[in-house]
Structure 1
Amino acid sequence: MTVAHRRIRLDALLVERGLASSRAKAQAAILAGEVYVNGVRAAKAGMTVADDAAVELRPSRPAFASRGGLKLDHALREFGIAPDGLVAVDVGASTGGFTDCLLQRGASRVAAIDVGTGQLDWRLRNDPRVRSLEQHDVRDVTADDLGGLADLATVDVSFISLGKILPAVRRLLKLSGTAVVLVKPQFEAGSKQLKRGVVREAAVHRRVLGDVIETARSGGWSVLRATPSPVAGPEGNLEFFLLLKNVRGESIEIDVESMVAQAHDTVLGAARR
């Protein structure tokens, strides 16, 4: 008699078997190419496998200084952005995951801006291509501090709304320069919309994403693309990337409802299974 085995998301199975302490860490391991199913490297965190599948975790040297690099790498590929030879500014650099990703993808130099101190990975701090601007609020930074206007900006900030940051980012970019911006609903929605620091409702995600898009457009940006981050943020928060261009009048319509539905299904789906 053949026994039917249930199907389960791979990231959920890793947690179930104790190979990862959370779905977020499981997803990061899969994206880093460290998870093998029946001897074959897994490609997607959301793939379903039989619950008796042979699953191995083969840890490797982290691809980037932090898992933020995995998120940005996904967004750059989704948006078709090639940093080769570009001058970049990384706003909210922290330990340097985005900065590391930009350098590995060929950026000629990166200005790493963060209000904190002593966080940037030592390897990056000593890389001649990196200008570390720690203890700097981007709103106080000038193009001279960067050594000139940047071609590309990346943004990953916490505890502040993007509406307060985006005007400063524009001032640091060349005309028609691009920005890859991480939208964190937990810092946009307001405390009443949070449950233990997490935004769970799709309606709130739709409102937040729509509001950030409108804020960017009204502030002189063109909004070109959007994609969910493939890895949830701390505590399981859903996050999104926007591709912005420093020019008016080239925006395309973003289907926010479909974007949020896709994110809930692919990134947060394991929580409902």
Structure 2
Amino acid sequence: MNFFAIHSRARDAIARKTVKVDGKIVFKAGEMVSDGATITVLLLPQSYVSRPALKLIYALDMFPVMTNKVTAIDVGASTGGFTQVLLERGVAHMIALDVGHNQFDARLSANSAVTLLEGLNVRDLKQEHLSGREIDLIV
């Protein structure tokens, strides 16, 4: 029975006290349980490409920011969690910028509303990288 796609998400759920074994909250990720134990996950894992996406969701809920129909840039995009959230919130176009390579989620990079700039440090960002777009929001 796999509740989580990767171990780090399971550890995170345990740290947030959202996993129970036989009705008791689990406090330690390495805790042994019997084969017949009933495991309950109080909050199922989100379908976001990164856990930091949940932080942006919380921030946008707490501090309403106009995201509808704007162009935004995700500086340090990594796997694209912030990009994913902003697309869900109605951003018209996302520019995902990261100094690294091959980290960004393939489903997001295939989205026509996303321009992926890999291997580029924000200090080296030039107007021509933006393809004439004006940036309304930076994350």
TM-score by length of 1: 0.37
Partner of 1:80: 64
For residue 117 of structure 2, what is the aligned residue in structure 1? 133
The one-letter amino acid paired with 1:116 is G
The equivalences for 1:1-273 within 5 A come to: 20-21=10-11, 25-26=12-13, 35=18, 56-57=40-41, 60=44, 62-147=46-131, 148-154=133-139
Query: What is the Cα deviation at residue 28 of structure 1?
Result: 8.5
Alignment partners' CA distance in 1, 2:64 and 2:15 = 21
Q: Is the Cα–Cα contact under 8 Å of residues 92 and 113 in structure 2 kept in the other structure?
A: yes
Q: Which runs of 5+ in 1 are unaligned?
A: 1-19, 38-54, 155-273
Unaligned runs of 5+ in 2: 1-9, 21-38
Q: How many percent identity over aligned positions?
A: 39
After superposition, the CA RMSD in angstroms is 2.8
Q: Which has the higher contact order (CA 8 A, sep 6+)?
A: 2
Structure with the higher fraction of residues in helix conformation: 1
TM-score for the superposition, normalised by structure 2: 0.70
Equivalent-residue separation in structure 1 for 2:15 and 2:88 (angstroms): 18
Distance 1:117 1:78, change over 3 A: same
Count the aligned residue pairs.
Answer: 113
